[in-house]
Amino acid sequence: MAECSRHAQKGIGCVDCHKANEGEIDAWQHMGALVSTLVTPKDCSNCHENEYKEFSRSHHAKAGEIFDSLDNVLAEKVIGLPGNNADTVNGCLQCHGSIIKFKRDDVGEIVREGGRPIIDPDTWPNSGIGRLNPDGSKGSCHACHSRHSFEAKLSRAPENCGKCHMGPDHPQMEIYRESKHGIAYTANIDHMALDKEGSWVQGKDYSAAPMCTTCHISSYMTSEGEHNASNHDVGERISWTLRPVVSTKINMVIYEDGFKENYPDTRKLPEIGEEVLVTEKNLQGEKLVAEIVSKRVVKIVTWQERREKMKGVCRNCHNNTHVDNFYQQFDSLVVLYNEKFAKPAQAMMDALAEDGVLNPNTPFAHEVQWIFWELWHHEGRRARHGASMMGPDYTHWHGMYEVAKHYYMKFLPAVIKVAAKKSDEMKAKYEKKIEKLLEREEHLWMKGLSEEETKVLKSTYEDRYN
């Protein structure tokens, strides 16, 4: 294991990573050294300062700050038992990261065995990407650099990202596999130089196919020569957020301390030099606490500049028109989803809340809330992710097809159903609202196709299937 790793070759031993300082909560005496079982990004930062800084400011490092989300209501309340949050522990937190805690006795003292503090089994083992560590650092480097070999080839492989980036609500791995890029990767896996030591540049060391890391992290050749470096901030080259109900383009605001924040393009940008209030979440003891702090803006990276960086990757293998046209195809799919389905569905949910039909205290209590949730969080994301990474089946059959079917056949009827629970007047109000909505041009197909269109359809099916 560690004996033959790059670290071992360079003379880096157990204590270089596992050493602890006097007074640290996880420290214990072991064979004459003060050590810790936990190894956090801060421990790696002693030798890998740049990767630490880039990673710590990325969205990945914030992935543990999800405890107030609707996803969490699902895991803890809808699925959990009082005193048993095993779904959160085995599910969410293995991807997102736990708050590392220690087992305590009745008076709050840490339980020890032979001096070694025992970590709360609800919180470790865990290599979630945004793990919250007792030393205040966020994330875990071994989410991608599995111990103890820490091999570059493992971190570079798409399957590595696929541990988390898969499944019904963010199937990036499945999309990649079905894309021309994934196909080229699989066929050419021996030509990807995955094992190369040191710098590994797309366009120089390999060119048969792009991988997740090629597009989101790694170095690539530009017309001016090699792109300066890989960047452990996976958000650097992204111009949309495809996660919320309604997608927006995202500008990036960078503060003096290196902290970054995404500003949707619908939000006014601050000036360089301006002090702005920012919410930061940090551990205090074993609790995540939000603080509002003032930070000075030093740089703004617009969504266009972020996109330009991604296009630089593509240009190694495609010409400008190919790349620009791809972005037009992708953008218009996001606009279609936003305008025809997401915005009207959100407006309907807002109206139900305003009319007191739905209550913010009762998420997931009504059918309509589940349907709406899946509409954007599952199907709607699949469609957007599919289009962003060239997976046509996810864009259409797992994506927009499901969005449309559920919008017309489940969501709108469920709106009326929940309104009817309140009163007959409310039911009538929403029936009327929906009737009006369906008069819009994009919904007229429901009133029937023209005679001509029906005739063509009929003859097609006769030709094809008799």
CB 95 within 8 A of CB 129: yes
Of residues 20, 27, 74, 89, which one binds ligand HEC by CB under 6 A? Answer: 74
Give the interface size with ligand HEC as a residue count (CB under 6 A). 106
- The one-letter code for the residue type at 404 is A
What is the C-alpha separation between 263 and 56, in angstroms, rounded? 19
Among 20, 95, 132, 426, binds ligand HEC (CB under 6 A): 95
**Which residue stretch of 138-146, 366-374, 407-415, 431-439 sits at the interface with ligand HEC (rule: CB under 6 A)?**
138-146
Site for ligand HEC in 114-133 (CB under 6 A): 127-129
What the block records as the tokens of 229 is 């470096």
Closer CB to ligand HEC, 205 or 355, in the complex: 205
Residues in region 270-309 near ligand HEC by CB under 6 A = 307
Residue whose CB is nearest to ligand HEC in the complex, by number? 235
Question: From residue 8, how far is each of 26, 137, 146, 442 by CA, in Å?
Answer: 24, 25, 15, 63
Enumerate residues 6+ apart whose C-beta is below 8 A from 8: 2
User: Quick check: 80 binds ligand HEC (CB under 6 A)?
Assistant: no
**318 sits near ligand HEC (criterion: CB under 6 A):** yes
Query: 71: buried, middle or exposed (CB in 10 Å: 19+, 13-18, 0-12)?
Result: middle
Cα–Cα distance between 348 and 369 in angstroms, integer? 11
How many other CB atoms sit within 10 Å of the CB of residue 162? 17
Q: Does 243 bind ligand HEC (CB under 6 A)?
A: yes
In the stretch 13-32, what mask flags binding to ligand HEC with x, by CB under 6 A? xx-xxx--------------
Q: Do the beta carbons of residue 166 and residue 381 sit within 8 Å?
A: no
Place of tokens 């025992």: 118
- Which string of x and - marks every residue 46-65 that binds ligand HEC (by CB under 6 A)? xxx--xx--x---xx-xx--
Return the range that interacts with ligand HEC (CB under 6 A); candidates 210-218, 271-279, 348-356, 425-433. Answer: 210-218
Task: Tell me whether residue 96 or residue 295 sits nearer to ligand HEC (CB atom).
Answer: 96
* Cβ nearer to ligand HEC, comparing 71 with 355: 71
Place of tokens 């797309």: 202
Q: Considering only 154-162, 265-273, 292-300, 418-426, which stretch makes contact with ligand HEC by CB under 6 A?
A: 154-162
Tell me the closest approach of the beta carbon of residue 181 to ligand HEC, in angstroms.
5
Per CB under 6 A, contacts with ligand HEC among 378-437 are 381, 385, 388-390
Half-sphere exposure of 412 (CA within 13 A, CB side): 18
End-to-end CA distance of the chain: 64
Q: Between residues 369 and 426, which has the closer beta carbon with respect to ligand HEC?
A: 369
Choose the binding region for ligand HEC from 209-217, 268-276, 289-297, 409-417 (rule: CB under 6 A).
Answer: 209-217
Q: Do 154 and 127 meet the contact criterion of CB atoms below 8 Å apart?
A: no
Residues sharing a CB contact under 8 Å with residue 104, sequence separation 6 or more, in sequence order = 110, 111
Question: Which C-beta is closer to ligand HEC: that of 46 or that of 459?
Answer: 46
Q: How far is the CB of 364 from ligand HEC (least distance, A)?
A: 12
CA atoms within 13 A on the CB side of 340: 18
Closest C-alpha to 293, from 307, 301, 281, 309? 281
Residue selected from 20, 313, 375, 383 as contacting ligand HEC according to rule CB under 6 A? 313
